[in-house]
Amino acid sequence: MKKTLLVLGALISAFQLSAQPKLSADNIDEVLEAMTLEEKAALCVGAGRGYQLGGLTFSSTVLVPGAAGTTLAIPRLGIPATALPDGPAGIRISPTREGDSRTYYGTGFPVGTAIASSWDTELVEHMTSAMGNEVLEYGADVLLAPAMNIHRNPLCGRNFEYFSEDPVLAGKIGAAYVRGIQSNGVGTSVKHFAANDQETNRMENDSRVDTRALREIYLKGFEITVKEAQPWTIMSSYNKLNGEYAQQSHDLLTKILRDEWGFDGIVMTDWGNKEGTVKAVAAGNDLMMPGSTVEVQRIVDAVKSGELSEADLDRNVRNMLNYIVKTPHFRNYKYSDAPDLKAHAAAARAAATESMVLLKNDGGVLPLKGTETVAMFGISSVDFVAGGTGSGNVNKAYVVNMVQGLENAGFTLVDAVKDFNQKYVDFQKVNMSANPSGAGVLLGSAKVPEAPVSRNFINAQVDKSDLAIVVIGRNSGEGGDRRVDNDFNLTATERQLITDVTAAYHLAGKKVVVVLNIGGAIETASWKEDPDAILCAWQPGQEGGDAVADVLTGKVNPSGKLPMTLPISYMDHPSSYNFPTGYERSNNYGWFRGPVEPVKNVDYTDYDESIWVGYRWFTTQDKEVSYPFGYGLSYTTFEYSKPSVKLDRDGNLTATVTVTNTGSVAGKEVVEVYVAAPAGGLEKPARELKAFDKTDLLEPGASQTLSFTLTPYELASFNIDANEWQTAAGSYTLYFAKNANDTATSAKVNVRKTSSFEVTDAFAHIK
């Protein structure tokens, strides 16, 4: 009898084993059913370094060396691990591997601020389809990108990764970015959701934002990207939002993201184990990254004690399984480890050129012939910044600096200046590595400050050269915000360099061009009168030097427009009154948190400026700026026809305008559509960007008609008291503009019907 039972038992377990389902797109519920509580909890926590739990071993495998994280494999159920590398300027993985002579470089594409300046969704999609191919071919599953927080203030250290001060520009560029990456059958992780607008105390700071600003400014870009491009994943941010960690906010992650916007992917946390894992699971945060045993244990314990309902956990597990069946690892994709880096470099160069913004071009000094002899001042000409630091820094094979780029294009560079810059940078780098400034682990090595150059040295170059170029560079990154002095404002040495070079060259009747190699806004008002031309090249990626040369020579006619305002002074931004200066009491953040009172702008930041971010403030206040949002020149000129605006029965607007190239070279033009709402009702900005488009390359004399449609919802503002979006009836003015201050071409339309749009009670009535 005993024997029979044993045989029966063995048969049953064999049956159970063979009946163990293997994950497929059609049996997700069955697999869920077969999972133990420990397995469910473990799948909702990244693989970290692997864990032991309940007598089971969950191992972590390095799928792609250098990738930021991995999800857990459960082999018995056919659940593979998946790999999640950073983003956003290209895939960030280890370029070399032990015992392997091959290299695994990612292409360094232009940074977020740059690509947003293209105002060209097709271009961005084309560029990120190349980027996404590297994700696929290097064996990864999701790129931790795009990063799309709002440039609330010029000093945020990660603004270079982010797109814009405007949510419509950010949202449309973000959607294009996601489409391009995901066209490869790999995913994106749209980050950092939400209101993660400063780096100071980034893990703990509480962003206190009223609901109107939250919905109209800080969430709108995410909303557009989620609705238009269906990213596979969203990354919830480290910070608190109105008192609660974003990654534990049910209002944010379930009510708004899923119930209102229809998001059906997974939410993963930004990289760090916070207490409150159970709250995060319940809030709809499906995956804790990078993952640690304690988080799995918390989930298991909470289900056992009844604190967490198993239904909530199951919902997240189901989301995880739905994600996994889409991945290349699940498909068993045979990646090559050999993406076409040459083709991708060309895509990076093309995107960089289309993103550069010509701020000034007096007397048509640009384009240059390409055969001139140039004295190129500014150490950033050799210490060129392709992209910012931290997790957004791509391990690229090379960077073409500006000296190389201009020489490649045929220019002759004055040796004395070139050598001086190179020697200075080499010396300072050795010096700095011997005496680290303690800038912080994530900041990487700080940029070498500009070299002082004597007037005699400058004067000695004038006869040897046809013109001078001065390159001004900035770098910043994850883990630290920028400062006003010597960063937003030029250093005294930089200021002197521009003054002295301009004086010497102008005296000899020669021209001076300033090239800005920057990731975010800097002060321009005090020195912009000096040079003849200013080109904002941004941090343009590994092909930067060649791309700058393409634009300087007119091989590519610049068509980028600023994605942020360049104010006259830093304090002109209302958010500057509530942004860390870098001089706050420091013992309240960093590694040591003492028992002290919460510190303003460190422990909490009041978004007192509400919706008055960027050009919304400057246009409404009629406040002068150095260069307005949306500004950028071309080597040609464009004229706009009289626009037409039609309204259909559902209240949708269709507007058209014809753009004609009235100059003498081919070029592209961005048309920005701003809308001014009728007076009365909610207080509104003077005008808000609602749509934009870019023409094809128009030959001289050629025209193109652009058309834009806007729904009543897109015209709505959020009424906190009624807790709904509202579009007032009345007369709306549509501006077809070259920048936020351009009101020359407009059309009016009368919206007959008031509309309102209901939302959930998420963050209801927070003022």
Annotated catalytic sites, by residue?
270
Give pairs for 745-751: CB < 8 Å, separation 24+: 745/640, 745/642, 745/643, 745/657, 746/643, 747/642, 747/643, 747/644, 747/645, 747/655, 748/645, 749/645, 749/647, 749/653, 750/647, 751/647, 751/651, 751/678, 751/712, 751/715, 751/727
Please report the sign of the dihedral spanned by the C-alpha atoms of residue 593, residue 597, residue 599, residue 604.
Answer: positive
Q: Given 3-state DSSP classes, what are the helix, strand and coil percentages for the chain, each rounded to the nearest 5? A: 35, 20, 45
State which of positions 307-366 bind ligand BGC (CB under 6 A): none
Print the binding letters for residues 240-279 with ligand BGC: x by CB under 6 A, - otherwise: ------------------------------xx--------
- Least distance from ligand BGC to the Cβ atom of residue 377, Å: 35
- Least distance from ligand BGC to the Cβ atom of residue 236, Å: 11
Question: What is the 8-class DSSP label of residue 677?
Answer: P
Backbone angles phi, psi at 484, to 5 degrees: -75, -55
Q: Which two tokens stand for residue 464?
A: 């040897």
- Please say which residue, 222 or 640, places its beta carbon nearer to ligand BGC: 222
Separation between Cα atoms, residue 637 and residue 660, nearest integer Å? 8
Interface with ligand BGC (CB under 6 A), residue from 191, 255, 684, 738:
191
- Please say which residue, 246 or 471, places its beta carbon nearer to ligand BGC: 246
Separation between Cα atoms, residue 34 and residue 483, nearest integer Å? 54
- Please say which residue, 236 or 380, places its beta carbon nearer to ligand BGC: 236
The CB density around residue 111, as the number of other CB atoms within 10 Å, is 33
By CB neighbour count within 10 A (0-12 exposed, 13-18 middle, 19+ buried), where does 94 fall? middle
- Least distance from ligand BGC to the Cβ atom of residue 271, Å: 4
Separation between Cα atoms, residue 491 and residue 489, nearest integer Å? 6
> In Å, what is the CA distance from 689 to each residue of 362, 726, 736, 737?
28, 17, 10, 10
Separation between Cα atoms, residue 71 and residue 321, nearest integer Å? 11
Separation between Cα atoms, residue 118 and residue 49, nearest integer Å? 41
- Please say which residue, 203 or 484, places its beta carbon nearer to ligand BGC: 203
Print the binding letters for residues 624-663 with ligand BGC: x by CB under 6 A, - otherwise: ----------------------------------------
Interface with ligand BGC (CB under 6 A), residue from 31, 72, 144, 547:
144
Residue number of the CB closest to ligand BGC reads 68
- Least distance from ligand BGC to the Cβ atom of residue 203, Å: 9
By the rule CB under 6 A, 86 interacts with ligand BGC? yes
Strand-pair partners of 673: 691, 736
Helix or strand (DSSP H, E) at 625: strand 625-627
Separation between Cα atoms, residue 697 and residue 445, nearest integer Å? 41
707: Cβ–Cβ under 8 A, 6 or more apart, which residues?
Answer: 654, 655, 656
> SS3 of 604, please?
strand
> SS3 of 632, please?
coil
- Please say which residue, 191 or 447, places its beta carbon nearer to ligand BGC: 191
- Please say which residue, 191 or 687, places its beta carbon nearer to ligand BGC: 191
- Please say which residue, 191 or 360, places its beta carbon nearer to ligand BGC: 191
- Least distance from ligand BGC to the Cβ atom of residue 191, Å: 5
- Least distance from ligand BGC to the Cβ atom of residue 563, Å: 20
By CB neighbour count within 10 A (0-12 exposed, 13-18 middle, 19+ buried), where does 641 fall? middle
- Least distance from ligand BGC to the Cβ atom of residue 681, Å: 39
Helix or strand (DSSP H, E) at 449: none
Cis link prior to 146 (omega < 30° from 0)?
yes
State which of positions 378-437 bind ligand BGC (CB under 6 A): 391
- Least distance from ligand BGC to the Cβ atom of residue 151, Å: 16
- Please say which residue, 360 or 482, places its beta carbon nearer to ligand BGC: 482
Question: What is the 8-class DSSP label of residue 438?
Answer: -
Interface with ligand BGC (CB under 6 A), residue from 28, 68, 77, 136:
68
CB 630 within 8 A of CB 596: no
- Least distance from ligand BGC to the Cβ atom of residue 161, Å: 8
- Least distance from ligand BGC to the Cβ atom of residue 70, Å: 12
Print the binding letters for residues 443-482 with ligand BGC: x by CB under 6 A, - otherwise: -----------------------------------x----
Q: For residue 297, give the amino acid letter.
A: Q
- Least distance from ligand BGC to the Cβ atom of residue 68, Å: 4
- Please say which residue, 69 or 473, places its beta carbon nearer to ligand BGC: 69
- Please say which residue, 144 or 382, places its beta carbon nearer to ligand BGC: 144
Site size toward ligand BGC, by CB under 6 A: 8
- Please say which residue, 28 or 147, places its beta carbon nearer to ligand BGC: 147
- Please say which residue, 478 or 603, places its beta carbon nearer to ligand BGC: 478
The CB density around residue 135, as the number of other CB atoms within 10 Å, is 34
DSSP 332-383: T----S---HHHHHHHHHHHHHHH-EEEEEGGG-PSP-S--EEEEESGGGTS
- Least distance from ligand BGC to the Cβ atom of residue 127, Å: 19
Single out the residue of 454, 395, 398, 396 nearest to residue 424, CA to CA: 454
Give contact residues for ligand BGC (rule: CB under 6 A): 68, 86, 144, 191, 270-271, 391, 478
